[in-house]
Amino acid sequence: MKIMIYERIEKKVAELAPRLDVMTTSPIAEDVEKGLILLEEVDKYLTFSAYADNFKMNIVVLGTIGRGKSTVVSCLLEDPPIVFHHESKLSRVVVAKSPTPDVPFSGSTMFLPVVKHITLENEFVAVWNMPGSQHTCSPFVESVVHYIYRWMIKDDKKL
């Protein structure tokens, strides 16, 4: 169910962003209202992801866009894990064996964090694969990413 919510919100953000990002005219009030409603949906998604399963420990993977955050999370958490083959000290070949060959790894185009729930040394942990900062595809998308970062650091969050 959470995947469907995630995909629906990302689709809405992607559809609305071009209308809100138009530099030649002011956005219409209806689109601004849709943007505000989308931020409320993002807040609900984040709250559900953080608190639905009572995970006491969280790992948050942060960084700028395109730096390999999703790759690291995929390498560490895929089941079976991705296999690395090293040829020498100076060159390295990565052989990715995806457990689901028809489904691509999550890339750097995401707007919302992907939360994976794992067990680490008998503790339940939520791993947050955050969107990259400095998202350049759209000013509205960058605003959504900043909103998510601010949500994460609010004082009242018990993450």
Give the pLDDT band (50/70/90) at residue 51: confident
Distance from the Cα of residue 126 to its chain's centroid: 13
Please tell me the pTM assigned to this model. 0.67
Domain ranges of the chain: 2-153
Condensed to tens digits (0 to 9), the pLDDT of residues 76-134 reads 776 655 555 555 555 555 555 554 455 444 444 467 787 777 777 888 888 888 877 76
Asked if residues 86 and 92 have their Cβ atoms less than 8 Å apart, the reply is yes
Question: Quick count: other Cβ atoms within 10 Å of Cβ 158?
Answer: 7
Maximum pairwise Cα distance, the chain: 59
Phi/psi for 140 (5° steps) reads -65, -45
